[in-house]
Amino acid sequence: MSELLRIENLSAGYGEAVVLHDVAFALGEGQTLALLGRNGTGKTTLINTLAGATRQHGGSISLGGQPLHKLAPHLRAAAGIGWVPQERNIFKSLTVHENLTAVERPGKWNPQRVYEMFPRLAERKTNLGTQLSGGEQQMLAVGRALVLNPKLLLLDEPLEGLAPIIVEELLRAIRRITQDEGLAAIIVEQHPQAILAISDEAVVLDHGTIVHTDSAAALRSQPQVLDRLLGVAR
């Protein structure tokens, strides 16, 4: 398996405040990484740093051998980063279809494939972003990242605050995107068992540093370790 992402000695934060300290790991092409940790441990900061939305104080990031750490966010997107932030950041004044076509890049993912994955969006393609439910907005945020045709998908708490039926629909979609389509992903989530079930590797952060790495299957099978690290074994 070829290496896709490499992070070395990464330190980053906001302004002068350093949140991440000497973070280092690698991810292979087509692999999914579950990024876990209690609230406030640096998970979102790491995702934001990969997307270029924080201040990097040290270390390096490379994607497919290309250095990313000196690139602006729009250039990272062009290099292959697809980012779904917690805030979703859809264009609420545009329709569903306009949201997708506004950022579409050549590749196998296009609006039609997004509609096939999320039939709810197909039914609402002429609706404005403001007319969508929270779950539909999350689907649109994922679809908008996909039509960039990225090499790496970053998902920051994609299931947060959603109804159980929408959570199941999104989990099925994420499983298809990663396992069936082979798109590499890093997923931050407060539901560890749900995400570990569809991930290959796992990294646990605490106070901005990596405190545990393992295969997702191994960590999922050790609820006592999950309980010690996260306090949410179940």
What pLDDT does 137 receive?
96
Averaged pLDDT for residues 144-173 = 95
What pLDDT does 57 receive?
96
What pLDDT does 232 receive?
55
Answer yes or no: is pLDDT of 18 > 70: yes
Q: What is the pLDDT of residues 70-111, one digit of tens each?
A: 899 999 999 999 999 999 999 999 999 999 999 999 999 999
One of 3.40.50.720, 3.40.50.1000, 3.40.50.300, 3.40.640.10 is the CATH number of 1-80+154-162+186-234, namely 3.40.50.300
pLDDT band (50, 70, 90) for residue 191: confident
What pLDDT does 234 receive?
43
Q: What is the pLDDT of residues 199-208, one digit of tens each?
A: 999 999 999 9
Averaged pLDDT for residues 184-199 = 93
Under a CB-based contact definition with an 8 Å cutoff, are residues 51 and 154 in contact? yes
**In the chain, % of residues over pLDDT 70:** 99
Answer yes or no: is pLDDT of 233 > 50: no
pTM of the full structure: 0.95
Sheet holding 17-28, edge to edge: 17-28, 3-14, 55-63, 66-67
Averaged pLDDT for residues 217-232 = 89
What pLDDT does 231 receive?
76
Averaged pLDDT for residues 118-137 = 96
Average pLDDT of the chain is 95
Please tell me which residue, 165 or 191, carries the higher pLDDT value: 165
Q: What is the pLDDT of residues 25-72, one digit of tens each?
A: 999 999 999 999 999 999 999 999 999 999 999 999 999 999 998 899
**In the chain, % of residues over pLDDT 90:** 93
Q: What is the DSSP string of the chain?
A: --EEEEEEEEEEEETTEEEEEEEEEEEETT-EEEEE-STTSSHHHHHHHHHT-SEEEEEEEEETTEE-TTS-HHHHHHHTEEEE-TT----TTSBHHHHHHHH--SSS--HHHHHHH-HHHHHTTTSBGGGS-HHHHHHHHHHHHHTT--SEEEEESTTTT--HHHHHHHHHHHHIIIIIT--EEEEE-S-HHHHHTT-SEEEEEETTEEEEEEEHHHHHT-HHHHHHHHS---
